[in-house]
Amino acid sequence: MKSPSASVVLAAHLVLLSSISFGGFPSVLPDVHNFVMANGWVTDREFADFFAISQVVPGPNMILMMSFIGLKVGGIPGAIASALATFGPPCLMYYTAYRLWDRFRDRPWQQIVRRGLAPLTIGLVIAGGYVMARAGDVGWQSALITAAAVGLMVGTRLNPLWILMTGGVLGGLGFL
């Protein structure tokens, strides 16, 4: 499926999402997932694969993942449009906010807003991980890998790269 209008629709949706992606882009993953599924652009399998690739390639993971979706939907122009839609609006906001930062640094209302938004952000990040685990689910083995990754990441100071590689090796050996 390579259609310019689909790329535009996707980019427009990403502009909206990146503008409200408090807590980083992982928090909007479930919404992206629902959106591309509803449009029939990407399969569950592909979505999980895009996620996996973007996590092992160094660099801007989420921008890359959105570009893979854009690539699938509209080729290279689609990929570029998705990338710009993902980092463009937040960059403009960061730039503007950084200039205003001093003005409201010590205001108590800012702290209250932060304390109010933090739990939502966290819930969305965890939901992002959960939705990704479900999208790539191929049985109890993959659930086990996900659970082990959670345990190791929370409980140890192990470099996450080792956890990712172990998951990949187990998959390659036919554990899944």
Shortest separation between residue 64's beta carbon and another protein, angstroms: 4
Enter the tokens of residue 106.
């010590």
Query: Do residues 86 and 15 lie in contact, with contact meaning Cβ atoms separated by under 8 Å?
Result: no
> Amino acid identity, residue 79?
A
Cβ proximity to another protein: between 5 and 173 the closer is: 173
Cβ proximity to another protein: between 11 and 48 the closer is: 48
Query: Do residues 132 and 50 lie in contact, with contact meaning Cβ atoms separated by under 8 Å?
Result: no
Cβ proximity to another protein: between 5 and 105 the closer is: 105
Residues near 93 by Cβ (< 8 Å), separated by ≥ 6? 19
- Picking from 65, 51, 74, 57, the residue whose alpha carbon sits closest to that of residue 133 is 51
* CA–CA dist 88, 126 (Å, integer): 25
Cβ proximity to another protein: between 39 and 55 the closer is: 55
**DSSP 8-state code for residue 102:** G
Shortest separation between residue 71's beta carbon and another protein, angstroms: 7
Place of tokens 């399969």: 43
Number of CB atoms found within 10 A of residue 55's CB? 16
Shortest separation between residue 53's beta carbon and another protein, angstroms: 5
Shortest separation between residue 4's beta carbon and another protein, angstroms: 19
Shortest separation between residue 38's beta carbon and another protein, angstroms: 10
Cβ proximity to another protein: between 12 and 113 the closer is: 113
